[in-house]
Structure 1
Amino acid sequence: MSPNSRSLPQVRGREPQLAQISANLRSVTSARRSKVLLLEAAPGAGKTRLLREAVGIAGRNGFTVVDGASAGPDAAPGAAPAPVGTRPHPPGAAEGGCHDPGASSAIETARAWLRDDAERVRAIVALDDLHLAGLPALTALCDLIVALSARPILWLLAFAPDGDAAPYEPVKSCLRELRGRLPVEPVRELGPLSGDALTRLVADCTGAVPGPALLALAESVNSTPRTVIELVRGLVEDGDICVVDGTSRLQPGSPGSAPAGAGVCTPALVPKRFSALVQKDLRSLSGPTMKALRLAAVLGSPFAPEDLSAMLGEAPVGLLTAVDEAVNRGLLVCGEHDLAFRGEPIWRVLLDSVPPPVCALLRRQAAEMLLSRPDGVERAALQLVHIAQPGDVAELRIIAEGSQRLLAADPSTAASLATRCMELLPPGQPERVRLAKTAVEAFTRVGDLDRAISLAKDTIDGAARLPAPWPAALAGDIAALRASMSTALLLLGNARMARRAAADALAAQKGGVQHSGAVITHLAASYLTGDSTAVERARKIRGAPDRHPPAVRVGAMTVHAFDQWCDGRVGDAVGSLRQAVALDHGSEEVQPFDPRWFLAFALTRTDEYEEAEAVVQSAAPTAAAGAGTLAAALPAVLRAPLHLAQGRLDEAEEAARVGVGMDGPYVPMLAPQAWLVLARVALRRGAFTQAGDYLKILDKDFPQRDASSPWRAPRLLLKAQSAEAQADSRAAMEVLAEIWAQAGALRELVLDDPAAAAWCVRCALAADMPDIAQLVVDTTEHLRTHNRRVPSVLAVALHARALAEGDADAVARAGRLHRNPWAQAAAAEDHAGLLLDHGDHERAIGELDRAMSAYGTLGGERDAARVRARLRRLGVRRRHWTHAKRPVSGWESLTKTERMVAELVAGGLTNQQAARRLFISPHTVGFHLRQIYRKLGIRSRTALIRFRA
């Protein structure tokens, strides 16, 4: 809790109202006539706080303030009392606060001052709680406003709406007198806070940004800001809130700290303070509404109206009054076909209001009712899982069947049902293996791969201790469980263990029908670990389509496409993947080798961006795509390289961060691609330290154990490009030494990035290694020969050969053939270099300008700096600074160039070394360093290193 948490919170979420008041202050000033603003709001909505802010704005803008705002029930809890009395404040002195000694007396005091004041000064008159004033005082106020209508006065009149204890009719009568005699305008409604405004209000009360569970509690009572403030400050006083890593959270171990969903479709417990606040509000509900809500809480959220009607034993028409009241009170929200509680905390309070023995009876009644429905097994299972006991055979069977049916639509709930059912079965029961398979598949779908693998291993080990001989069904279930485990292992990126588990599953089913998942995983894992027989097995499967199910044939076609790609037959590989996608009509099981994934990557690398985007959009629906599943994370990891290829660095970085699991579940098997995107984005921005950090993570978490790894060549290419940027071309060539020795590896490197081949030729020539340049040219020519209908390959081959041969016209043609914007920019720069060699400076400068502009547009700051340096050497200077609104101090205050300088110097480079990498002078580096020291409040390189760390 911050030291100032008891002070008046800042106004949140009322920007439109304040803007409206400010506009009317300007209007009064320009028209020199009065205007009336009517502020109608329920107690606690913040009308008094808004009046305080309004008079403050007016005072700071030269208005004399006559205030009668209350510090009573509508003021924020903990606010300091203001001086008593309604009195004028001179301009600029309106922030001492307001107090309400009585609505009628406030009106009289304001009337006396304005009547005696002969000066025609600009003024704002703020009067609160006018619904509490008597009719004579209101009539006098109305007469005064009309009498002074020719003076520049903004009248800000606040009152509570009809329905409160105080009479409302005198206020309405007064307002009727004003309308038509001078401008009258209502202030925009003070509704409940939402989104960022609510988050900031909770942060004001706790001193830190709220965590999800705390914010959910605040949202559940968000009828007025005052209610939220009372709740959060109460939780702070009760010790239910702590601040961890800059986030205010519910205290570990407190009732509300359990994550939502810790049980099976049951909301987390809530703190006593919150429960008491909600129960107080619930007591004002009618008896029938309260009964309906408690039954609805047992049914769950969302719930079907027909289920509630059946539980109540009433016709649907009997629900109308109760549902209307609950919706109007903000307890329920209506969906298209169902109803739901507004928030899980509200649901929890109502559920807790049902005594446990009664709740158990109601759940059993609900389950019996639901079993007669078409989708009743799943919903009945969600009721019985809370009350089933060991030995309840019939109920456990329903729970097991429900978990299986929910596997595709709701894998998280399916896993909870299956694991709970396993807990209720005694050790040694064969049914545990079948339940474990369901749970393993469910955990795999939600991305909890480690738990899936651990559960599978424990279950298999437990089954191994059962006395022999095993029933045939049990042996088949264990084989199926091994197949599911092999899928999880492959998605985890452990191809060797996946291959072994799949082989064990296939061996157990030898002579019988083999599990499709085991066949696919074994085939894919074998290929990824360098098993040369995998391609032949894939060929045999493709050659006997009638003997294999579609899913196995799709897997074989995908492996075949991989082999075609590695052999340099790019067009054929893309064609095979398209055929595989056309054959794949989706599967209920998790697919560890989905052809859509690899088709999206292949299309991106061949610059077919539109088709790649279409494939990405179709990839997620092949599995459960709900929030928190692997399928939900797939589009990001597929789009990251696509955004990068199109030159959208910010979007590429954002997608790649999702792809490596920074924001939830991810697919570890594909994560290396996302790390490579992050490293490449950092390198293109000139953030060498950051790029190096990403590559270190890649090496640590995803070591290259096999020469056939699909990410090996692009990883080495990035390391070489980093070495070239930080050292020289010869260092880059040394990094790629193992690539030159393998034709397949060089083909993969060239195909990874349309600009890679020209970069290799450029570096080889700069390092005086013409044999390497020729090797790259020969490789691109081989690709061109086998891919005459793939425009991107033709452009790459033409660019590489033209650069090696010094053919300026051919390089220009290659630039026109490239679709990749990075390759286009590189071709313009290469063309300029060759034009300079031929003495054509004028055209070279034009090409350099085009390259610099392209790099700058793409966010390639280091590339743009390099081209700018070449232009300077030609006597041409181009302005490159841009204005951006930044803080005055701290890391965020640094410009992009200053950040690059800071990173290089913090990495131990001298000014001269940093200057060479950024293509600027050491003097300029020194200038930037002085700015960096000033903005960060430090004085030395050592302090900069510590700050950056």
Structure 2
Amino acid sequence: MFQYPVGRIVESERIAGFLRAVESWPAALVLDGEAGIGKSTVWEAGLQRAREAGMHVLSARAWGAESVRAWATVAELLADVTPDIVAELPEVQRGAVTGLLMRDRLDEPADQAPVANSQVLAAAMLSIIDALEQSAPVLIAIDDLQWLDPSSQAVIGFVARRVRRRTALLLTHRTDADAGHASTAWLHLDSVNGIQRMQLHPLTLGGLHEVIAQRLGRSFPRPTVVRIADVSGGNPFYALELARALGNQPLRSDTELPTSLAELVRLRVGALSDEVRAVLLVTASTSDPTVEMISAAMGASVERTVELLESSEGAGVVTVIGNRVRFNHPLLARGVYTDAEPRQRRQVHRRLADLVAETELRARHLALAATTADPVTLAALDQAAAVARHRGAPAEAAELLELAIGLGADSAQRRIQAADNHIRAGDTGTASSILAPAIERSAPGVTRSVAYLLRSAVLIHTQGYLRGIDDLQSALADASGDAMLTAFVRTMLAFAQVRADLYDEATANAREALAEAERLGVDQLISSALAVNAWIDCLCGRDYDRAAMRRALELEAVELDAPVTLSAGAINAVLLIWTGEVEDAAVQLQAVRDRLLDRGADTEMLWVSLNAVMLGILRGDYAAAAADARDTVERAERLGGAHVMSIALTMRGAVAAYTGDDEAARTDLRTALELANSCRSPYADLASALLAFLEVSVGAYEAALDTLEPMLRVFDTVPGAEFASKGYLPDAVEALVAVGRWEQAEPLAAALEDTGRRFHRPWQLAVGARCRSMVLLAAGKVVEAEAAAAEAMRHHQRLAMPFERARTQLVCAQIQRRRRRRRAAEAQFAEALGTFERLGAALWARRAEAGAGPVGVDADAGRALTGTERRIAELAASGLTNREMAAELYVSPKTVEAHLTQVYRKLGIRSRAELGRVMGRSAR
């Protein structure tokens, strides 16, 4: 049904040109093609050319290292690195690299094994590449990318997305219809032309996810989609059949293929003899099959084993290269395995358990050979799960623990460990289902408290803070006998409660958590409690204690792997953003970013990336904000859940709104708002505020007020006028003034100025004075308005927010026009225009440009047109339709219609004929 194009050999001259280009930009060349067309030969030629050119070469062959042999390809790449470079790495990274290269240490007890994960190794590789690039370009070369193990893929994908200069990837990829294939959706480079490839591939992971969602009307957790992709080889037909058969069950190693796919496999292998199928079963049962291993498991000679394998090779089932044996498509391996009798599979695994030495492989084989929970198998599984967790392979650790549970060794502790690993792997649905029995069967106490705590993290992640609060309160009740756990849970509960607008409860819990932490005398616990108290004080409209925040930073144990949401450094960075100290915030946030990167905490980088978006916007660095927004969406898609996706789309929509991409902003922000409302996320207000900002940007003030109406309705019930809770106020004031409701805008402006004066907030003082100026101008008090605008500009001098300053300059220019100071007005418009153009704020640049023209149709404040309204009025008067005007101005027809409604109201007219006469008089 699906035909895949055949690849072609890449000429060596093409490689030479590719390698030369590495000097100026990061690049990747993927050599796609079917078996036997010479990919590996070209790959070797590329390595030779790179070495002749003096490049640093890190090369590896991805020979079948599957999930239970994590890091195989990364270890081979790092083996080419000189010891002196490894010695210069940060301690955590150096330990991870050293531990990986000394593989015999991986079987040590969990408390002695080197702690590593994909993020740490990825951070280490980036550090190594940075060091190598100082002397020459770097080539990362991997042969047969389709066999890359998931853990190595995570590391290499991380590195590929973040290299900045003079680094190239040379990859071969087998994509013929009968060969193994793995999605390359994880491979990204910043350069537009960074990746060169020769042919189309089967669907990517994201493509498969979209196809499954569209055809079946449901989504699967990312780990499940990854496994579907692995088994289907990216073939959408195979993937849909697998997804239909799964229902709500996870895809396990023994999950049977649906009938349609099983028949396809049987057509290929059904004609083979029983002896050949027995050899294939052994091959399908091990992660890294070799001729010698298969021979030993079969109890046959190597010669006979080779003879049997060659029979299946001739049938197009496997390929033998050297002593390595590979199925030509993962679907064939899965079909051979699941089609065998359970008794046959157990016998094979029993033999293989005696042949392998690696802890995880042996434990897996023992478990798959067992029918009861014997102590030897359980001990092996527990040890293997600990090793997998320390090696940063949580999905594999969870599966090993679930094998133990499936054998009858079902305990609350194993379920908690398995759930924790599933959460780290991004499979929150499975984590929740595993935790439910642990909670139901456990007696009140510490164990059940931890289970509730874990489930609260799942609920907050997927359904928002309110759903998670119930479990946190249950965790708090069960933790009463453990003072440290009680203080930790109470701190988490306070953080969640304030995000759910439960201000009094959050304050009480935060104060109690701090008191308990002080009694215990645990520095990290005190640091987190102090930071969360400052966070809550700010959101509750109180000034936070700067001295206490400094103490929190001093006590923070940055070397510990504490949640970023309880990190004093991370919370301080966000507080600095909220209080308008954006330059200091940038320094603090970069320190948090560096710290997380050094220890490879990639998942927790979501906190950094989403806050970095707003910081970039406020500082006027829209390019950085856009990059962080892409990063936020990428991480959210990887993690899943309505809450986190609402955050990510809000951030991406924010960048689109400020850069003037009207359509993209509306799409993202409306979707974000829908998701946020579905889980009662606090980011619903931010998405609404940004939609209102977009409407103000295009002059659709009634639409802006409609969007803001729910927040304005509860204005008095939300304490304070902080940026985090009431950042929408400047847009609300401008919209109210524009539609003639300036009396309603007055208390909003007063609230901003009051907060600014009481807490010395530069943002509130600057925008508050600007808002007061607009209200005074609308009331006809031009002199007072001019004084307020001048005061706003003085406050802007200590506020590093160029967009806000330029926006205030537009108000200053309008005041100068009202006072008939044409040159002064045009100078202000021109300066604001220059700032908006430099920032890339297209909609506001058009407003500034339109404002620099004639004074306006009517000098009366209540009827004066904005720049955008005047432009639309002129176009309408010239005879253009709404759709034609929308195309001219790069906005939607509905936006044009909203503007025309405002124009008619302000000018006191009802038709385009009247508009033509009015605009004609204005032109004279």
Q: Does 1:701 align with 2:675?
A: yes
Identify the match of residue 391 of structure 1 among 357, 370, 373: 373
Instruction: Report how far residue 726 of structure 1 moved.
Output: 2.1
Which deviations, in whole Å up to 9, do the C-alpha atoms of 1:797-852 show, x marking residues without a partner?
Answer: 56556666423544443444331232132133233223323433223223322322
Q: State how 1:486-497 maps to structure 2 within 5 Å.
A: 486-497=456-467
Distance in 2, matches of 1:213 and 1:695, equals 21
Cα distance, 1:671 vs structure 2: 4.7
- Per mean C-alpha deviation after superposition, the further-off stretch among 519-528 and 571-580 is 571-580
- Tell me which of 533, 536, 544 is aligned to 2:508: 536
Measure, in 2, the Cα distance between the counterparts of 1:604 and 1:433: 42
CA contact (8 A) 1:720 1:733 kept: yes
Native 8 Å contact 2:495 2:532 kept in 1: yes
Secondary structure of the equivalent of 1:389? Answer: coil
The answer for the alignment partner of 2:411 in structure 1 is: 432
Give the partner amino acid of 1:448: D
Amino acid at match of 2:426: G
Are the equivalent residues in 1 in contact too, given 2:886–2:892 (CA < 8 A)?
no
Q: What does residue 813 of structure 2 align with?
A: 832
Mapped partners of 1:896, 1:200: distance in 2: 43
Q: Which residue of 1 aligns with 2:531?
A: 558
What SS does structure 1 have at the residue aligned with 2:401? helix
The structure with higher relative contact order (CA 8 Å, sep 6+) is: 2
Q: 1:300 to 1:697 in 2, by over 3 A?
A: same
Whole-Å Cα distance in 2 between the matches of residues 410 and 190 of structure 1?
24
Query: 1:394-543 counterparts in 2 under 5 A?
Result: 394-407=376-389, 409-425=392-408, 431-461=410-440, 463=441, 476-512=446-482, 515=485, 518-529=489-500, 530=502, 532-543=504-515
Q: How does 1:567-578 map to 2 (within 5 A)?
A: 567-568=540-541, 572=545, 576=549
Q: Name 1:617's counterpart in structure 2.
A: 593
Q: Could you tell me which residue of structure 2 aligns to residue 822 of structure 1?
A: 803
Deviations 1:561-594 (A, max 9, x none): 2222125566746972882595144666867655
Quick one: structure 1 residues 522 and 193, their matched pair in 2 at CA, closer, same or farther if it must change by over 3 Å?
A: closer
Contact 1:624 1:631 in 2 (8 A): no
Question: Which residue does the alignment assign to 1:676?
Answer: 650
Deviation at 1:712, TM superposition (A): 6.3
* 1:841 aligned residue (822, 843, 858): 822
Cα distance change, pair 254–584 in 1 and its aligned pair in 2 (3 A) = same
Residue identity matched to 2:432: I
Pair 419,851 (structure 1): closer, same or farther in 2 beyond 3 Å: same
2:892 aligns to what SS in structure 1?
helix
The change in CA–CA distance for 1:268 and 1:600 in structure 2 (over 3 A counts) is: farther
> Is contact 2:395–2:421 with CA below 8 Å preserved after alignment?
yes
**What SS does the aligned partner of 1:818 have?**
coil
Q: Are the counterparts in 2 of residues 524 and 559 from structure 1 also a CA contact under 8 Å?
A: yes
Deviation at 1:437, TM superposition (A): 0.7
Q: Which amino acid aligns with 2:494?
A: L
Say whether the 8 Å CA contact 2:232–2:330 is kept in structure 1.
no
The 5-angstrom pairing of residues 201-216 of structure 1 reads 201-202=199-200, 210-212=203-205
Paired position in structure 2 for 1:882: none
In structure 2, the CA distance between the partners of 1:898 and 1:415, relative to structure 1 (3 Å rule), is farther
Asked if the contact 2:539–2:724 (Cα under 8 Å) also holds between the matched residues in 1, the reply is no
Distance 2:236 2:256 in 1: 20
Amino acid at match of 2:434: L
Matched position secondary structure for 2:805: helix
Rounded to whole Å, the distance in 1 between the matches of 2:456 and 2:835 is 46
2: distance between equivalents of 1:745 and 1:802?
Answer: 21
Which residue of 2 is the match for residue 84 of structure 1?
A: none
Q: Is the 8 A contact 1:619 1:635 kept in 2?
A: no
Deviations 1:673-717 (A, max 9, x none): 4343344344445565655554544444323998xx754654553
Q: How far has the Cα of 1:652 moved from its partner? A: 4.1
Once the two structures are superposed, residues 68-111 of structure 1 have per-residue CA deviations (whole angstroms, 9 ceiling, x without a partner) of: xxxxxxxxxxxxxxxxxxxxxxxxxxxxxxxxxxxxxxxxxxxx
Match of 2:721 among 739, 743, 746: 746
Aligned 8 A contact 2:384 2:397 in 1: yes
Structure 1 unaligned runs (5+)? Answer: 22-40, 48-188, 204-208, 216-239, 280-291, 313-329, 465-469, 879-893, 924-949
Q: Structure 1: how far apart are the matches of 2:445 and 2:624?
A: 49
1:265–1:382 CA contact under 8 A, matched in 2:
no
Question: CA 1:594–1:613 in 2, change beyond 3 Å: closer, same or farther?
Answer: closer
Provide the rounded CA distance (Å) in 1 between the counterparts of 2:492 and 2:414.
21
* TM-aligned CA deviation for residue 624 of structure 1: 7.5
Cα distance between partner residues in 1 of 2:414 and 2:628: 35
Asked if 1:664 is matched to 2:638, the reply is yes
Partner of 1:806: 786
Q: Deviations over 1:690-749 (max 9, x none)?
A: 55554544444323998xx75465455335435543244876785653354246253346
CA contact (8 A) 2:494 2:505 kept: no
TM-score (norm 2): 0.56
Against the structure 1 CA distance between its residues 538 and 901, is the aligned structure 2 distance closer, same or farther, given a 3 Å change threshold? closer
Secondary structure of 1:557's aligned partner: helix
Conserved? CA contact 1:904–1:914, under 8 Å: no
Q: How far off is 1:274 after superposition?
A: 12
Report how far residue 599 of structure 1 moved.
3.9
Is 1:262–1:268's contact at 8 Å kept on the other side of the alignment? no
Mapping of 1:372-391 within 5 angstroms? 376=359, 378=360, 380-391=362-373
Q: Relative to structure 1, is the Cα distance of residues 213 and 902 closer, same or farther in structure 2, using a 3 angstrom cutoff?
A: closer
* 8 Å Cα contact 2:757/2:765 also seen in 1: yes
Instruction: Answer yes or no: is 1:858 the counterpart of 2:839.
Output: yes
Q: In structure 1, how many angstroms separate the alpha carbons of the residues matched to 2:457 and 2:576?
A: 26
User: How far apart in 1 are the matches of 2:598 and 2:200?
Assistant: 40
Give the whole-Å Cα distance in 2 for the aligned partners of 1:904 and 1:455.
51
Cα distance in 1 for partners of 2:846, 2:403 equals: 60
The aligned residue for residue 645 of structure 1 is 618
Aligned-pair CA distance for 1:485: 1.6
Contact 1:600–1:613, Cα closer than 8 Å, also in 2: yes
Deviation at 1:560, TM superposition (A): 0.4
CA distance in 1, matches of 2:505, 2:171: 71
Change (3 A) 1:582 1:844: farther
- Displacement of 1:757: 5.6
Task: Quote how far apart the aligned CAs of 1:418 are.
Answer: 2.1
Q: Following the alignment from structure 2 to structure 1, what is the Cα–Cα distance between the partners of residues 463 and 478?
A: 24
Aligned match of 1:89: none
Distance 1:897 1:904, change over 3 A: closer
AA aligned opposite 1:201 = Q
Which AA in structure 2 matches 1:447?
G
The farther-off stretch of 408-417 and 575-584 is 575-584
Contact 2:643 2:675 in 1 (8 A): no
